[in-house]
């Protein structure tokens, strides 16, 4: 395994959907493979509905996978061992308003994982651990007795992060952890994630829409489109030399705070709408919006191939 902590191989997540008198599969995640190294951040980007969140939830077995496998530290994740492995794998949810129990104090929210996994021998040790976790994420001791509704969005997200860190995990799925926050608060939370990684050595799967945020925090970036990964590369390499037409289009839409650069850039606008996951086009899912599409694209879906320097792309014509 070497430095690989999480290995996802041919992961599929299909949801049955009733259509008239028959049931058809909605292919939310379709044959996805990638790895996350120890202490590494892998960014996962793509437009809404492409399956990013479903990937994260399926890795942690919040959804039962349709097919494929997930290995954590070399061990296959199954229904039988997932309870024990949840101590090593945690999740920070997207919505800081709905992911915290409104009837529990901050102390109880952060302390719940400690109670579930029996990590503290007495109340004094539990209290000390909770206050230590709160200090990690920039919360004061007097916040412990308050309820979630008394906090701002950024503070609530910090509570959720402290809860995820309570069991000293090696891997955290961060599901758009800053998308619901103000821009000024986003920077604070992103910096906190980086500081915690440096201090604790935790690895992240960082799911987000904002390519600037993902580029800043991630070592590598994977780009998803309609349930499939179309490109994976080093963060700088992907931003400077995108290969897949979809990645090129995404990056051309990223705002750059330099008027001269902005004027010189050319926006790559995609034509047509995103196909329905219930009626996927044959072959490459992106071909209906791709300016490079050929007959081969309609016949067969391209596999991720290494274009050199660990830069993987799924495209016939690029």
Mean per-residue pLDDT for 211-223?
93
Backbone angles phi, psi at 93, to 5 degrees: -85, 160
Span 267-289, pLDDT tens digits: 787 887 788 888 888 999 999 99
With respect to residue 252, please indicate whether it lies within any of the assigned structural domains. no
For Cα atoms 306, 233, 51, give the angle at the middle one, nearest 5 degrees. 100
**Can you name the residues that pair with 41 across neighbouring β-strands?**
204
Q: What is the CATH number of the domain that holds 235?
A: 3.40.50.300
Determine the structural domain holding residue 181 and report its residue range. 4-88+169-240
Is residue 55 situated within a structural domain? yes
123-136 and 106-116 are packed helices; what angle lies between their axes, rounded to 10 degrees? 120
Host H or E run for residue 212: helix 211-217
| pLDDT at residue 1 in the model | 44
Number of alpha helices (DSSP H) and beta strands (DSSP E) in the chain: 11, 12
Number of structural domains (the chain) is 1
Whether residue 261 lies inside any domain: the answer is no
| pLDDT tens per residue across span 15-74 | 999 888 889 999 999 999 999 999 999 999 998 889 999 999 999 999 999 999 999 999
- Tell me what pLDDT residue 145 has: 94
- 96 within a domain of the structure (yes/no): no
Is residue 42 assigned to a domain? yes
Q: Is residue 249 part of a domain?
A: no
Q: Is residue 280 part of a domain?
A: no
CB contact at 8 A, 248 and 268:
yes
Give the pLDDT score at 263.
75
* Single pTM value for the model: 0.91
């Amino acid at each position: 395994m070497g430095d690989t902590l999480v290995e996802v191989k041919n992961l599929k997540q299909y949801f049955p959907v009733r259509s008239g008198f028959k049931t058809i599969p909605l292919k939310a995640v379709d044959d996805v493979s990638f790895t996350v190294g120890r202490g590494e951040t892998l960014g996962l980007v793509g437009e809404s509905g492409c399956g990013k969140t479903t990937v994260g939830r399926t890795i942690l077995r919040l959804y039962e996978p349709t097919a494929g496998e997930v290995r954590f530290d070399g061990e296959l994740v199954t229904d039988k061992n997932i309870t024990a492995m949840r101590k090593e794998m945690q999740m920070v949810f997207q919505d800081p308003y709905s992911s915290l129990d409104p009837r529990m104090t901050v102390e109880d929210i952060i302390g719940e994982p400690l109670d579930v996994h029996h990590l503290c021998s007495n109340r004094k040790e539990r209290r000390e651990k909770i206050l230590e976790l709160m200090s990690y994420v920039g919360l004061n001791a007097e916040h412990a007795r308050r309820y979630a509704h008394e906090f701002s969005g950024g503070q609530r997200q910090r509570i959720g992060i402290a809860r995820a860190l309570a069991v000293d995990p090696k891997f955290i799925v961060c599901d758009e952890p800053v998308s619901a926050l103000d821009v000024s608060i986003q920077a604070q939370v992103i910096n906190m994630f980086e500081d915690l990684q440096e201090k604790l050595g935790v690895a992240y799967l960082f799911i987000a829409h904002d390519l600037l945020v993902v580029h800043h925090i991630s070592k590598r970036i994977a780009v998803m489109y309609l349930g499939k990964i179309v490109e994976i590369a080093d963060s700088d390499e992907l931003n400077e030399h995108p290969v897949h037409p979809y990645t090129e289009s995404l990056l051309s839409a990223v705002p750059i705070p330099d008027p001269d650069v902005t004027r010189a850039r050319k926006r790559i606008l995609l034509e047509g709408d995103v196909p329905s996951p219930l009626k996927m086009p044959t072959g490459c899912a992106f071909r209906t919006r791709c300016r490079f599409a050929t007959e081969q694209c309609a016949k067969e879906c391209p596999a991720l191939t290494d274009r050199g320097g660990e830069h993987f792309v799924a495209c016939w014509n690029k």
